[in-house]
Amino acid sequence: MPALAADIAAGTRPQQLEGWSNTAIRSRYPAARDGSAQPAEGFFHDAANAVTAITQRGALLGVERRRFSVVVQELLWLSPNMGVPTVTLIDPEQGVSSLAMVSRMEVNLETEQTLFEVMV
């Protein structure tokens, strides 16, 4: 099947690179990886759609998050069908009192404890 003229035009138009940066995070962590060596690929019809997508990606990835390990002194059996569990983390020493997303869960049957790794 021969290529259509519209397909050839779409495949040969010049590329345009868009970028996003959070200067506060960048200045706080100057040695952090920023992904510029291999930027995330995306294919969009126009630049406005690309800017919208990269702004949304930046809102997810460009935010400072803290990670904590929490030991629950009992066994908790959480079903994956319930979705991503959230907990309220209160730690006066670390200055944390907020909702946290559980990013990892480990059940230790010997000690009858559950270990959560949470992101705030």
Residue 61: the pLDDT is: 78
Whether pLDDT at 11 is above 80: no
Residue 113: the pLDDT is: 92
Classify residue 36 as exposed, middle or buried by CB count within 10 Å of its CB (0-12, 13-18, 19+): exposed
Q: pLDDT tens digits, residue range 84-108? A: 888 999 999 999 999 998 989 999 9
Token pair 């995330």: residue = 40
Measure the CA–CA gap between 102 and 95, rounded to whole angstroms.
19
Q: Where are the domains of the chain?
A: 5-61, 67-119
Q: pLDDT tens digits, residue range 16-64? A: 778 787 888 878 888 876 666 777 788 887 889 989 998 898 888 777 8
Phi first, then psi: give them for residue 31, nearest 5 degrees. Answer: -95, 5
